[in-house]
Structure 1
Amino acid sequence: MNEQLDRKLIFVFTGPDGSGRKTVADSVGATLGIAKVLSYATRKPRPGEANGQDYHFISPELYEQFDRAGDFIESICMNGNHYGVRGMDIEQSLLQNGSVFLILNTEGAELLKEQYGDQVIRLFIYADRRTVQDRQQEAGVDSDIVRFRMDQYETAVAYQARCEHAFENYDLAHTVFDISNTLEHYLQRNLVERD
């Protein structure tokens, strides 16, 4: 039996909005061949986002239907939009792929840790307040949303102490390299470099 499938770990990338957690997580996932479990969102895709790649963008009615059925193990409302992770998506992906990764805010990361315990490894991605704000403005995020997120910055950063690992993200390649090495320790695939 494939040893990787025996190690069913859930890697959760979290940290303040604008820290680069999505870019880092997607790069690490692609580097290590770890499957991504997508959250559901009732908002419209932002520039550069794609349905089925960043989120499952669904109607508020469908979201409510899933919620009433108890499908979401993590569900939050931010700025009038609902975001959630379906338990069956995690279970199915773990069964098919072994380890998986998700990108969640700190509340979602905490809920998953409560649900799955030691199976969840939280990776806190961060940058200083100014960098985080600049990244969001450069990405064209609405100024009201940036202001709201920056009001949440200190609370998000405080969550770092509860995470298993923390990585400062100023240089993407360096951050991805460090995290990939850390996750290989958990995956124990004993990969060998070849010339």
Structure 2
Amino acid sequence: MSEQQEREMIFVFTGPDGSGRKTIAESVGATLGITKVISFATRRPRLGETNGQDYHFITPELYDQFESDGEFIENVSVNGNRYGLRAKDIAYNLKKSGSIYLILNPEGAHALKDTYGDKVIRIFIYADRRTVQERQSEAGIDPAIIASNLNQYESAIRYQASCEHAFENYDLAHTVFDIANTLESYLQRNLEERD
């Protein structure tokens, strides 16, 4: 095993919709210089989302083609939309960067853990039900989508027990600081193994 492979880490930010996992993941990723791997989605971009930055927004037909070609390592349906992550995108970015991060729902986080084992560190981000509802409303998300997300809140919260780390997110700066310090310990541990 090469030094690069020994240092390969996959940090997966997960938790209920509205927990702030995307904002936190991007702040921590920028702070630590970790590469983001982007999933594919068949839905339209929401207000403030950018193609190629938040998701690769593609047609259902192209998604079907990727799926039939066996390209997705993770493939889920949420609120009538499909989300997938290509194995080759993970492999390419791990080889190029050594450590990567992703933002996935609990089902996707579980699929990655099953595939990559100890390389995957799951960071569970959460807030109480009322807070996540308010955040989604403020983001302009369709009320029907919010209602569907809230129906999945309890099952998402239960996934916390499976994750390596969990952080409440009420104070963004504090949460980002705590998570960055936690992940830095993984990165330092692996850098020290290079001797």
**TM-score grouping bracket, smaller chain normalisation:** over 0.9
Q: Give 2:168's aligned amino acid.
A: E
What per-residue deviation string (whole Å, max 9, x for no partner) do you get for residues 90-133 of structure 1? 00000000000000000000000000001100000000111011
Rounded Cα–Cα distance in structure 2 between residues aligned with 1:64 and 1:17: 25
Work out whether residues 15 and 106 of structure 1, in 8 Å CA contact, stay in contact via their aligned partners in 2: yes
Q: Give 1:170's aligned amino acid.
A: Y
Q: Give 1:182's aligned amino acid.
A: T
Q: Give the match for residue 163 of structure 2.
A: 163
Rounded Cα–Cα distance in structure 1 between residues aligned with 2:157 and 2:79: 20
Q: Give 2:68's aligned amino acid.
A: R
Q: Give the match for residue 35 of structure 2.
A: 35
Pairing of 1:34-183 with structure 2 (within 5 A): 34-183=34-183
Rounded Cα–Cα distance in structure 1 between residues aligned with 2:11 and 2:60: 28
Higher alpha-carbon deviation: 181-190 or 102-111: 181-190
Q: Give 1:63's aligned amino acid.
A: Y
Q: Give 1:100's aligned amino acid.
A: I
Q: Give 2:139's aligned amino acid.
A: A
* CA shift in 2, pair 1:39/1:58, >3 Å: same
What per-residue deviation string (whole Å, max 9, x for no partner) do you get for residues 127-174 of structure 1? 011101100011111000000000110100000000000000011110
**1:185 Cα offset (Å):** 0.5
**1:189 Cα offset (Å):** 6.9
Matched position secondary structure for 2:53:
coil
Matched position secondary structure for 1:160:
helix
**1:6 Cα offset (Å):** 3.8
* CA shift in 2, pair 1:101/1:177, >3 Å: same
**1:77 Cα offset (Å):** 1.2
Q: How many residues align?
A: 190
Matched position secondary structure for 1:188:
helix
What per-residue deviation string (whole Å, max 9, x for no partner) do you get for residues 61-102 of structure 1? 111000000000000111221100000000000000000000
TM-score (norm 2): 0.94
Structure 1 unaligned blocks of 5 or more: none
Rounded Cα–Cα distance in structure 2 between residues aligned with 1:120 and 1:82: 23
Identity %: 69
* CA shift in 2, pair 1:138/1:131, >3 Å: same
